[in-house]
Amino acid sequence: MLINLYLVCGVALVMLLSCNSSNNTDSSTPTDILQGTVDVTSVVQANFINEYTEGVNVAVNGDYISISSSGLPDHKTPYWGEGHEMFEDFLGVNHANMNTTMIAFNYVMTIPTYPKEASVKEQTDLGAVGMALNGVPLYNDYEGGGVLEENAWSTFDASGAHPGPNEDYHYHCEGTYLTVDDSNLIGFLRDGFPVYGRKDMDGSYPENLDENGGHVGVTSHFSDVIYHYHVSNDVYSTSGLYVIKSGAFHGTKGTFTQ
Ligand SMILES: [Zn+2]
Ligand SMILES: [Zn+2]
């Protein structure tokens, strides 16, 4: 009789546990993730770093994380200027744009601690749409004059970057020191969602990206699924380059000040 009672209790306990565990599984389904249950704080804190300029700082303020930087790259580029220890020449026929120098800024990007899908997707605009892990702004496929054209990409360094009219160095495309046909974490967009290289962590090219260049899935930094962007896998125009971001934000963008 006592044994039977134990058995009944045991079965009830197992049912209770399995019930709980299935609830736990449910809490990490894509639907719930999109409601903003993934905390990006630890990944942001662990990965934003710029050893060269010591220019990246992360401050957590409850629902928001502020990342500040000088915007100067921690790698070689011709835009450091000849004679600088980090100078390297342009590739091929590329050449400097009219902004032959780049200067330091006091950038602050504020992103949600729990990024969440927006009900209305806002198009990305001119200017910084996100920040690379080294503090350099990420731009989309637009320049001041409209979509990127040859007069713009011919001024890119090996990192798919150049300074704009304000001597503000920024990335538009895949390139050396950032990501080249890999699954590297590049940075975060202003809506708090991470951006990866062209591949997923298993080495495959994602085939189900939405119109904003992202999808829901696991990454090497988020073992529970999270919405994340990828560098485009389509060559941009005749540039031979892969644009980092085009289209709209998946979530609601935070501020980016300089
Ligand atoms: Zn530009
Ligand atoms: Zn992916």
**Domain residue spans in the chain?**
39-257
Ligand 2 centre distance from Cα of residue 213 (Å): 9
Give the distance (Å) from ligand 1 centre to CA of residue 89: 19
CA distance 157 to 78: 7
Alpha carbon 75 to chain centroid distance?
18
Task: Give residue for tokens 């009830």.
Answer: 12
How far is the centre of ligand 1, averaged over its atoms, from the C-alpha of 107 (Å)?
Answer: 16
Q: What is the pLDDT along the chain (258 residues), one digit of tens a residue?
A: 444 444 444 444 444 444 333 333 344 445 544 567 899 999 999 999 877 667 799 999 989 999 999 999 999 999 999 999 999 999 899 999 887 899 999 999 999 999 999 999 999 999 999 999 999 999 999 998 899 999 999 999 999 999 999 999 999 999 999 999 999 999 999 999 999 999 999 999 999 999 999 999 999 999 989 999 999 999 999 999 999 999 999 999 999 999
Q: Extract the tokens encoding 213.
A: 């260049």
Global pTM value = 0.86
Choose among 202, 236, 201, 231: nearest CA to 214. Answer: 231
Q: Which ligand is nearest to the CA of 202?
A: 2
Distance from C-alpha of 233 to C-alpha of 128, rounded to nearest angstrom:
21
Q: Locate 210 and state its tokens.
A: 């939405």
Q: What's the 69 CA to ligand 2 centre distance in angstroms?
A: 27
Ligand in closest contact with the CA of 198: 2
* Residues 207 and 200: beta-carbon distance below 8 Å: no
Q: How close is the Cα of 210 to the center of ligand 1, in Å?
A: 24
